[in-house]
C-alpha cells in the first residue's frame, strides 16, 4: 500500500513497469498559468481586431464610394456598317462567309451585270442619235444663214425695181399696176428675210446658246448623263466592302437570290475601333467629367483589365430615345432613377478580341477630369 502526501491511501501498482507517481503542479498534463494567459491575450486581440477590421472596411467603402463611380450596365460598342445593294438583280457570286475578315475594297458579292450592260449599250445609241440630230440642226442653222443673205439680196433687187417703176410712173411711161407689183415684191422679200431670221433663231435655240458644238446640246447632254448613270449602275453590280472589319449576318446571301435595291443583306463590324457605353445612374453624374480615368473589366475575360477615359456624356437618358418614351404624367407615377449613357474610350490595346455587345464593368475615378 502506498500512501500519498495527502494522507489518503493509494492502490498498489499492479504493474511495476508503469509509473504511478501522483500528478503534481509540475506535470505536463496540468494546465499552466502561462497557457491561460496566452488564451486570454488571443481572445482580447480577436475582440479588438474584428471591430477594427469592420471599421476599416466601412471607412474604405465610404472613401471609395465617394471617389469612384461604378456600373456593370456597360457594353462594348463597335461601328456596324449595314451593306445594301444599290441596284437590284440576281446574285451571281458570293465571295465572303460569316465572321470572315475583310479589307476595304474587297469584293463581297456580285449581281448579274447583263441587264446593266444592255442599258449602257442603249444609252450609247441614244447619244449617237442625239449627235445626228445636232448635226441636222447645224445644217439647218447654216441653211437659215444662207436664206437670210438671199432674202437681203432679194430686198435690194426689189427695192431697186420699185425705184425704177416709180421714176417711170412719174414720167408717165408705166402703169400703176407695175408700180404696185414692184412694191409687192419688196414686201415679199422683206417677209422672206424675217422668216429666215426666225429660222436662225430657232436653230440657235435648239443648238443651245447658238453654239454649233454637239456636246453643248441639251439632248446630247441628257443622253450622256443617261450613259453615265448606266455605267454607274453597272459598276454597282460589284458590291465591295466600304470599311475593313468582320462579316456578320451574311447567311441571307445565296447565289441565284434576287436582290432588292436598298435592302440590307449583311453587316460589317469594324472591330478596329471599340469603345464602351456605360449606363450610369443619374446620381453618379454630379462629379463625372470628360477626361476622367476609368478601369474596364469584361465578363467574357475576367482576367482582363483595360484603362479607359470618359470621352463624352450622353445628351439624354436612355428612355428619351426609346421607341415608346415613358409617360410620367399620370397619377400612378413612380420615380425611377434614370440612367445616362457615358462613352468610355479604351486607351489600351486589348490582347483579347473585343466583341461588340459583350458586357463590361466600368469604374470611373471622379477626382480628375477635363484632361
Whether 137 and 217 have beta carbons less than 8 Å apart is answered as yes
- Among 161-170, 253-262, 281-290, the range scoring the smallest mean pLDDT is 161-170
Report field, pTM of the whole predicted structure over 0.85: no
Helix (H) or strand (E) holding 72: strand 68-83
- Among 24-33, 108-117, 149-158, 264-273, the range scoring the smallest mean pLDDT is 24-33
Give the model's pLDDT for residue 50: 73
Give the model's pLDDT for residue 2: 46
Give the model's pLDDT for residue 269: 96
Task: Give the Cα-Cα-Cα angle 20, 26, 32 (nearest 5 degrees).
Answer: 125
Whether 340 and 73 have beta carbons less than 8 Å apart is answered as no
- CA neighbours within 13 Å on the CB side: how many for 41? 6
Cα torsion 117, 118, 120, 125: sign = positive
> Pick from 249, 357, 229: which is nearest to 298 by CA?
357
Question: Which residues, including other chains, have CB under 8 Å from residue 341's CB and lie 6 or more apart?
Answer: 277, 278, 279, 314, 318
Residue 328 binned pLDDT confidence (cut-offs 50, 70, 90): low
Q: Are strands 245-248 and 293-298 parallel, antiparallel or unpaired?
A: unpaired
Residue 13 has pLDDT above 90, yes or no: no
The pLDDT tens digits for 345-370 are: 999 999 999 999 999 999 999 987 65
Highest mean pLDDT among 12-16, 83-87, 154-158, 324-328: 83-87
State how far the Cα of 368 lies from the Cα of 371, in Å rounded to an integer: 8
- Among 99-108, 173-182, 239-248, the range scoring the smallest mean pLDDT is 173-182
Whether 291 and 310 have beta carbons less than 8 Å apart is answered as yes
C-alpha cell at position 324: 415608346
Residue 361 β-bridge partners: 297
- Among 25-34, 78-87, 115-124, 152-161, the range scoring the smallest mean pLDDT is 25-34
Backbone angles phi, psi at 294, to 5 degrees: -145, 155
The alpha helices in the chain, defined as continuous H runs, are 33-67, 114-171, 176-206, 218-235
Residue 134 binned pLDDT confidence (cut-offs 50, 70, 90): confident
Angle between helical axes of 114-171 and 218-235 (0-180°, round to 10): 180
Residue 290 has pLDDT above 90, yes or no: yes
Q: Over pLDDT 90: what percentage of the chain? A: 48
Residue 295 β-bridge partners: 307, 363
State how far the Cα of 342 lies from the Cα of 52, in Å rounded to an integer: 38
Give the model's pLDDT for residue 128: 92
Give the model's pLDDT for residue 264: 94
Residue 285 has pLDDT above 50, yes or no: yes
What's the mean pLDDT in 159-183?
A: 85
Q: What is the DSSP string of 312-354?
A: EE-SS-GGGGSSS-----STT------EEEEEEEE-SPPSS--
How far the first Cα of the chain sits from its last, in Å, is 96
Amino acid at each position: 500500500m502506498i500512501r500519498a502526501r495527502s494522507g489518503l491511501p493509494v492502490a498498489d501498482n499492479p504493474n511495476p513497469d508503469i509509473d504511478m507517481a501522483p500528478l503534481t503542479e509540475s506535470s505536463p498534463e496540468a494546465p499552466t498559468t502561462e497557457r491561460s494567459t496566452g488564451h486570454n491575450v488571443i481572445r482580447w486581440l480577436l475582440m479588438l481586431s474584428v471591430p477594427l477590421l469592420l471599421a476599416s472596411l466601412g471607412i474604405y467603402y465610404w472613401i471609395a464610394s465617394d471617389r469612384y463611380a461604378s456600373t456593370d450596365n456597360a457594353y462594348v460598342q463597335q461601328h456596324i456598317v449595314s451593306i445594301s445593294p444599290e441596284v437590284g438583280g440576281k446574285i451571281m457570286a458570293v465571295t465572303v462567309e460569316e465572321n470572315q475578315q475583310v479589307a476595304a475594297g474587297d469584293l463581297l458579292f456580285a449581281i448579274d451585270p447583263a441587264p446593266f450592260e444592255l442599258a449602257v449599250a442603249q444609252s450609247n445609241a441614244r447619244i449617237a442619235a442625239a449627235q445626228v440630230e445636232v448635226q441636222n440642226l447645224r445644217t439647218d442653222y447654216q441653211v437659215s444663214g444662207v436664206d437670210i443673205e438671199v432674202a437681203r439680196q432679194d430686198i435690194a433687187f426689189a427695192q431697186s425695181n420699185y425705184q425704177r417703176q416709180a421714176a417711170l410712173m412719174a414720167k408717165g411711161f408705166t402703169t400703176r399696176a407695175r408700180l404696185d407689183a414692184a412694191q409687192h415684191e419688196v414686201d415679199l422679200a422683206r417677209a422672206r428675210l424675217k422668216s429666215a431670221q426666225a429660222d436662225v433663231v430657232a436653230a440657235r435655240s435648239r443648238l443651245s446658246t447658238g453654239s454649233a458644238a454637239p456636246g453643248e446640246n441639251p439632248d446630247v447632254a441628257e443622253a450622256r448623263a443617261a450613259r453615265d448613270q448606266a455605267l454607274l449602275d453597272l459598276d454597282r453590280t460589284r458590291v465591295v466592302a466600304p470599311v475593313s472589319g468582320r462579316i456578320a449576318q451574311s447567311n441571307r446571301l445565296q447565289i441565284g437570290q434576287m436582290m432588292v435595291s436598298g435592302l440590307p443583306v449583311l453587316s460589317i463590324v469594324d472591330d478596329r475601333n471599340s469603345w464602351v457605353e456605360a449606363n450610369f445612374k443619374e446620381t453618379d453624374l454630379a462629379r463625372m467629367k470628360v477626361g476622367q480615368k476609368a478601369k474596364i473589366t469584361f465578363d467574357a475575360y475576367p482576367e482582363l483589365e483595360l484603362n479607359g477615359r470618359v470621352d463624352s456624356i450622353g445628351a439624354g437618358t436612355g428612355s428619351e430615345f426609346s421607341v415608346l418614351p415613358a409617360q410620367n404624367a399620370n397619377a400612378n407615377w413612380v420615380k425611377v432613377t434614370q440612367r445616362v449613357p457615358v462613352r468610355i474610350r479604351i486607351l489600351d490595346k486589348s490582347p483579347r478580341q473585343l466583341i461588340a455587345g459583350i458586357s463590361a464593368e466600368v469604374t470611373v475615378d471622379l477626382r480628375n477630369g477635363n484632361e
